[in-house]
Amino acid sequence: MKRSLQQVKALTFDVFGTVVDWRGSIIREMRVLADKKDWSIDPAEFADAWRDGYAPAMDQVRRGELPWLTIDVLHRMILDDLLKQFGITGLRDVEIADLNRVWHRLKPWPDSVRGLKRLKTKYIIATLSNGNLSLLMHMAKFSGLPWDVILSAELAKHYKPDPESYLTAAQLLDLRPEQVMMVAAHKSDLDHAARTGMQTAFVTRPKEFNPDKKTDLKYERRFDINASDFVDLAEQLDA
Amino acid sequence: MKRSLQQVKALTFDVFGTVVDWRGSIIREMRVLADKKDWSIDPAEFADAWRDGYAPAMDQVRRGELPWLTIDVLHRMILDDLLKQFGITGLRDVEIADLNRVWHRLKPWPDSVRGLKRLKTKYIIATLSNGNLSLLMHMAKFSGLPWDVILSAELAKHYKPDPESYLTAAQLLDLRPEQVMMVAAHKSDLDHAARTGMQTAFVTRPKEFNPDKKTDLKYERRFDINASDFVDLAEQLDA
Q: How many domains does chain A have?
A: 2
A97 touches chain B (CB under 8 A): no
Same domain, B47 and B78: yes
Vertex B112: Cα angle to B125 and A126 (nearest 5) = 45
CA nearest A126: which of B149, B104, B71, B70? B149
For the domain that residue B153 is a member of, what is the CATH number?
Answer: 3.40.50.1000
Query: Which of B64, B85, B104 lies at the terminal end of a domain, its last residue?
Result: B104
Same domain, B168 and B70: no
Same domain, B140 and B187: yes
- Which residues from chain B sit within 8 angstroms of residue A150, using beta carbons? 149-150
Same domain, A13 and A50: no
pLDDT at A77: 97
Domain limits at B169? 3-21+106-236
Residue A103 · residue A135 · CB < 8 Å: yes
Same domain, A85 and A197: no
- Which residues from chain B sit within 8 angstroms of residue A134, using beta carbons? 172-175
Query: Which of A104, A138, A173 lies at the terminal end of a domain, its last residue?
Result: A104
Distance separating alpha carbons of residues A233 and A224, to the nearest angstrom = 11
CA nearest A121: which of B137, B150, B103, B141? B141
Supply φ then ψ for residue B178, to 5 degrees.
-70, -10
pLDDT at A182: 98
Distance separating alpha carbons of residues B13 and B184, to the nearest angstrom = 6
pLDDT at B32: 96
**Nearest-neighbour CA in chain A from B77: distance (Å):** 17
Distance separating alpha carbons of residues B70 and B131, to the nearest angstrom = 7
pLDDT at B88: 94
Residue B143 · residue B107 · CB < 8 Å: yes
Same domain, A169 and A67: no
pLDDT at B144: 97
Contact B150 A155 (CB under 8 A): no
Same domain, A133 and A208: yes
Distance separating alpha carbons of residues A208 and A217, to the nearest angstrom = 11
User: Any bridge partners for residue B124, and if so which?
Assistant: B10
Distance separating alpha carbons of residues A23 and A45, to the nearest angstrom = 10
pLDDT at B13: 99
Same domain, B9 and B122: yes
pLDDT digits (tens, 9 = 90+) for B166-224: 999 999 999 999 999 999 999 999 999 999 999 999 999 999 999 988 899 999 999 99
Same domain, B47 and B135: no
B232 touches chain A (CB under 8 A): no
For the domain that residue A36 is a member of, what is the CATH number?
Answer: 1.10.150.240
* DSSP one-letter string for A107-157: EEPTTHHHHHHHHHTTSEEEEEESS-HHHHHHHHHHHT---SEEEEGGGTT
Same domain, B122 and B220: yes
CB-nearest to B140 from A134, A148, A172 is A148
CB-nearest to A172 from B133, B148, B175 is B133
**Nearest-neighbour CA in chain A from B135: distance (Å):** 9
Amino acid identity for residue A22 in this structure: W
pLDDT, one tens digit for every residue, chain A (239 residues): 888 999 999 999 999 999 999 999 999 999 999 999 999 999 999 999 999 999 999 999 999 999 999 999 999 999 999 999 999 998 999 999 999 999 999 999 999 999 999 999 999 999 999 999 999 999 999 999 999 999 999 999 999 999 999 999 999 999 999 999 999 999 999 999 999 999 999 999 999 999 988 899 999 999 999 999 999 999 999 99
Segments in chain B below pLDDT 50: none
pLDDT at B214: 87
- Please determine, for the modelled complex, whether the ipTM score is greater than 0.85: yes
Same domain, A222 and A135: yes
Query: Which of A39, A72, A104 lies at the terminal end of a domain, its last residue?
Result: A104
Distance separating alpha carbons of residues A160 and A60, to the nearest angstrom = 13
Same domain, B141 and B188: yes
pLDDT at A53: 96
Residue A61 · residue A67 · CB < 8 Å: yes
The pTM score is 0.97
